[in-house]
Amino acid sequence: MSDLLADKTAVVTGGSSGIGRGIALSLAEHGADVVVADVQTTPNTADTTPTLEAIEDRTDARAEYVDCDVTDPDDVAGAAERAVEFGGLDVWVNNAGITHGSDFLDSTEEEFETMIDVHLKGTYLGCREAARAMLDGDGGSIVNVASSAVDRGWKAPGSFFYAAAKGGIQSMTFALGATLGPEVRVNAIKPSYTVETGLDTQNGDDIARTERAEETAMGRLGVPSDLGGAAVFLASDLSGYVTSEAILVDGGWVHVGGP
């Protein structure tokens, strides 16, 4: 275990499964104590070991789970308070999200509102509570999870909801970097299709996966630890002069992928 993030405390929303789990584990592996903020403890993927247990088994970091609905201001504030009790909030990762597999012409306002609430409102609340704690302390780093859908459209059911929400997250990231700097850095990471996530488990297709992998420069699909590595960089002092940035972690898919 490295000490790159030693003496730092991080909150990861949606940290029980998928990308959030990969980020939480990566932060812990580099020395950060982690508050896993989610509405469930059990991952919705093949490996059902709770993230809390995985961190404790694989690292020397401290970890705690808090029940957190990111659309509830009190829940989000509670997650921040728990991190402060750990010793101070240094890193906040807004990862929690949902999907809707709706056809556009049959979609509803309720579906749209739910998507915006979880992704965009949830990120807003997370940024707000993180900034309050960080500005009362020694500053910190906020990492928002946007998506390659910000840069490149695709026609999967529900992608229009998802792209709208993630586009808002990217724009908010840029604005907050200016608003909260220099004490708080605000950046985003933008994954493309990532295996070992709930979406992949529910909707993955081997043929589609193979075709998508062939469109990347890396010749493979992303896994949660790929996003974890990017989050570790943005959380650490290695990125001390990086803010208001959104980093594609997509194996080159957006810029070199097929039509």
Distance CA 228, CA 146 (A): 14
Integer Cα distance of 170 and 190 in angstroms = 9
The CA distance from 20 to 199, in Å, is 13
Compute the distance between CA of residue 43 and CA of residue 50 in angstroms, rounded to an integer: 6
Helix (H, G, I), strand (E, B) or coil at 91: strand
- DSSP codes joined into one string, 201-230: HHH--HHHHHHHHHTSSSSS-B-HHHHHHH
With the C-alpha atoms ordered 126, 127, 131, 132, is the resulting torsion angle positive or negative? negative
Under DSSP, the state recorded for 190 is: E
What angle do the packed helices 159-180 and 109-116 form, to 10 degrees?
A: 30
Residue 187 corresponds to which tokens in the numbers above? 């950046």
Our answer to whether residue 193 is catalytic in this structure is no
Q: 141: part of which helix (H) or strand (E)?
A: strand 140-145
Place of tokens 């789970």: 65
Please state, in angstroms and as integers, the Cα–Cα distance from residue 77 to each residue in 66, 95, 132, 143, 193, following that order. Answer: 11, 16, 10, 17, 31
The one catalytic residue among 65, 124, 162, 193: 162
* Residues annotated catalytic, as ranges: 162
